[in-house]
Structure 1
Amino acid sequence: MHELIGISMFSSAGIAETYLKDLNIQIKLANELLQERANYYLHFYPQVDMVVGDIMSDAVFSTYMDKAITLNPKFLLATPPCQGMSSLGKKDYVEDYRNYLIFAVLKVIDSLDLDIIIIENVPKFLKLVFPYNGQLLKIIDILRLKYSNKYIIESHIVNAKDYGVPQSRPRAIIKLYKSNYSWDMPQPEKEITLKTAIGHLPSLKNGEHSDIKYHYALKHSPMHVEVMSHTPEGCSAIKNDIYYPKKPDGQRINGFHNTYNRMRWDLPCPAVTTNSGMISGHNNVHPGRRLPDGTYSDARVLSLLELLIVSSLPENWNLPENYKENMVRTLIGEAIPPKLLYKILSTLDTKTHVD
């Protein structure tokens, strides 16, 4: 594959871009709304020109486009946030400002002669409707109306666990590409279980640090440690008869069946969220192992190293020395596992014969 000069939008810390260089895709320009996220991006990619600010503002968009036009990029990666968007048939789509971020992507496509565009989001993104020419249309229909004479346009829902990532993480992928490229979807692979991915790492007690980089346990409350120590693999402490989560006054905490819940060794990691550091979150607790006294080890969330592994990030990831763990967990929870994006783009190639 020849070198592709690329740009990214809604770039956050650039986690999605981790392995793009291995595919000869060189991102030269990025945009991120928040300075703190942009700082992480610039730590990982100091050579990239980062435009910080709201891409929906005229000034920021103009700055971004001036730089993009100079680069003449052929590749665009866009991951517009979509929390708050409404589903087909609902009328509150105008309530959330974030609904319109996708239109900034369309403006960029309109302004450049791109060869390859990939838009990534949560699966419900494909079901949402947007105001376009007096109608409410799904994004794939808008794209086909605007660009079907220039690009082959496809949409797919994929799960990271089927492509070499030890995590169940469904994502929506939209591909636009010119006809002189071939771009099949990769073949699904055998799932990688948590036992295979992280089972070799040593057990950790509450707040314990190992001598392995990033493999340390967060400090959890005594109540959380107690209830999870009495909760076996794949189970929730919410359902325990004796050792269940309690409020300070002793009252039982009610929660969903997958809160205070241990993962299973024989399955991929459940979807990593932005609150992966909270025992009370959904499916956040290490699977643990039964101890001789009948309790269970590792009454904790995944260590940062374990989180990197199940998110397909390098185990020696070069985090800033002063990184904030809560922020890093948030960034990982927001991002597509980069190996999934790598696998999807690995099949991209130029055709020897144009149809």
Structure 2
Amino acid sequence: MGKVLSLFTGAGGLDVGLERAGLDTVACVELNGDARSVLAANRPGWALPGDGDVNTAAQQLVPGALGMKPGELDLIAGGPPCQPFSKAAQWASTARSGMQDDRAKCVHGMLDLVESFLPKALLIENVEGFLRGKDNASEVISEGLAGINARHGTSYRLAAEVVDAADFGVPQHRRRAIGIAYRDGAEVHLPEATHADAPMRAWDVLWDLEEDEKPSATGQWAALLPSIPEGGNYLHLTARGEGEELFGWRTRYWSFLLKLAKDRPSWTLPASPGPSTGPFHWDNRPLSVREQMRLQTFPDEWRIDHPFRAGRRMVGNATPPLLAEVLGRTIVGDLELGEASARTRLLEGTPSLLPVRQPRVPRAVAPVSIPEAYQAQVGAKEAHPGEGIGPSPRRLVARG
């Protein structure tokens, strides 16, 4: 139905979803060796040209290398590395933010490939800060597309929106910036939310999953997890919570000792969490890689046979495949890709990666008293003094 050149492919989440929307990935530009091995194992037919560096790919990866002419490719899709635009980067005292960061140079590499291939569409998926906020990339991308238009007579125009993946049936709250541009300047019909009022829940995708190897919680606070209610975090153990006072109110980060609730979507899955960073399973342990893949809506046949930390990193960095499928269906419909009857069947059907809602969710297990080992630390604690000093003052304090 359509041909896709995938950039920053990672573990393939975006491409798995686009594939379900009838779009065929012809090549993946991916630098990480672990991710390349995942792609090769799951889709041997997806070419992995060169060394996977998008910054230099346009020098070797030309349309003729994929058996096509400029303008014949249907879609370039990808999510440039998000670290320079993440909330964590905005808070780090030593980080360079957004387009000032060296890691953001790949945005220009992406634009070079757009100019080389002149695809019918460009799809970008990334963290919220990629297209909004301080030092975001939207102006650079729009200016780059304007230059391509001037040199080639195209009409690329970026349409961008921030969405929550849970609003489209992904059992995980995950706010993502979506950018789409069509070569002919046609209007982009960004998809409307389908599950905002009735989101899929963690139980809907984890209820039948039996893992042979379940990760164990580690770190000095691991034994506290049974004392946190499902859907709660460390705030339960503060003066304003219902448990014993072990921490000061709002003195820790939100995901500290955060646990899933069976009857709600997961919170955003991080790629490289610390030992006390959730969301944790309601069984008081880290989520396995396969459980995280279910919460991201990867199909079960997609395998990531890597050590736990490497697998967790790849899954945490991935685009939820269901969200990608929804976006792919939008592009297929807008551009009228493929044969008309096949396109109609695709667009009128339910997305194939949408989870099945379970009729019954078990009750939450009540939290227990904190273990004896922590009892000496129970007592009145000072709360956070206000709303927080924010990233800029923090940097000044660090430098002073």
Q: Structure 1 length as normaliser, TM-score?
A: 0.75
Q: Runs of 5+ in structure 2 lacking a partner?
A: 338-400
Structure 2 residue aligned with 1:311? 296
| Structure with greater proportional strand content | 1
Q: Which amino acid aligns with 1:280?
A: S
Shift of 1:159: 1.1
Report the CA distance between 1:115 and its aligned residue: 0.7
More helix by share: 2
2:279 is equivalent to residue 284 of structure 1: yes
Question: C-alpha separation between the residues in 1 aligned to 2:298 and 2:33?
Answer: 22
When residues 11 and 68 of structure 1 are mapped into structure 2, their CA distance, relative to the original with a 3 A threshold, is: farther
Name the SS for the 2:179 alignment partner.
strand
1:168 corresponds to 2:177:
no
Q: Aligned in 2, Cα 1:317/1:221: closer, same or farther, shift over 3 Å?
A: same
Deviations 1:25-49 (A, max 9, x none): 1111111112222111111211111
1:19 aligned counterpart, secondary structure: helix
Moved more, 172-181 or 324-333: 172-181
The match for 1:301 is 286
Residue 82 in 1 paired to residue 82 in 2?
Answer: yes
1:228 alignment partner, one of 206, 225, 231: 225
Helix, strand or coil: the match of 2:256?
coil
Q: Show the counterpart of 2:126.
A: 121
**Separation in structure 2 between the aligned mates of residue 175 and residue 101 of structure 1, nearest angstrom:** 18
Counterpart CA distance in 2 for 1:267 and 1:233 is 10
Distance 2:3 2:65 in 1: 10
Tell me which residue corresponds to 1:11. 9
Q: 2:310 pairs with 327, 349, 355, which one?
A: 327
CA distance in 1, matches of 2:205, 2:63: 45
- Asked if residue 29 in structure 1 is aligned to residue 27 in structure 2, the reply is yes
Counterpart in the other structure of 2:61: 64
Q: Contact (CA 8 Å) 1:230, 1:243: kept in 2 or not? A: no
How far apart, CA to CA, are the structure 1 residues paired with 2:228 and 2:136?
45
Residue identity matched to 1:347: T
Q: Is 2:336 the partner of 1:336?
A: no
Q: In the alignment, which of 95, 101, 126 is matched to residue 96 of structure 1?
A: 101
Report how far residue 245 of structure 1 moved.
8.7
For 2:303 and 2:11, the matched residues in 1 are separated by 12
Superposed displacement of residue 244, structure 1: 8.8
Deviations 1:259-309 (A, max 9, x none): 012223332110111135x5511x3212x3xxxxxxxxx111223332122
Alpha-carbon distance in structure 1 between the residues aligned to 2:244 and 2:307:
32
Q: How does 1:162-201 map to 2 (within 5 A)?
A: 162-179=167-184, 183-190=188-195, 191-198=198-205, 200-201=207-208
Note closer, same or farther for the CA distance 1:91–1:235 as it changes in structure 2 (3 Å cut): closer
Identity %, equivalent residues: 20
Aligned pairs, how many? 311
CA–CA separation in structure 2 for the residues paired with 1:69 and 1:222: 49
The 1:200–1:23 alpha-carbon spacing in structure 2 relative to 1, beyond 3 Å, is closer
Q: 1:244 to 1:311 in 2, by over 3 A?
A: farther
Structure 1 residues 300, 243: closer, same or farther in 2, change over 3 A?
Answer: farther
Once the 2 structures are TM-superposed, how far is the Cα of residue 17 of structure 1 from its aligned partner?
0.8
- Provide the C-alpha distance between the structure 2 equivalents of 1:80 and 1:306, rounded to a whole number of angstroms: 25
Residues in 1 aligned to 2:39 and 2:246: alpha-carbon distance in whole angstroms:
38
Compared with structure 1, are the counterparts of its residues 158 and 229 closer, same or farther at alpha carbon in structure 2 (3 Å cutoff)? Answer: same
Structure 1 residue 183 displacement after superposition: 4.8
User: What code does the residue aligned with 1:143 have?
Assistant: L
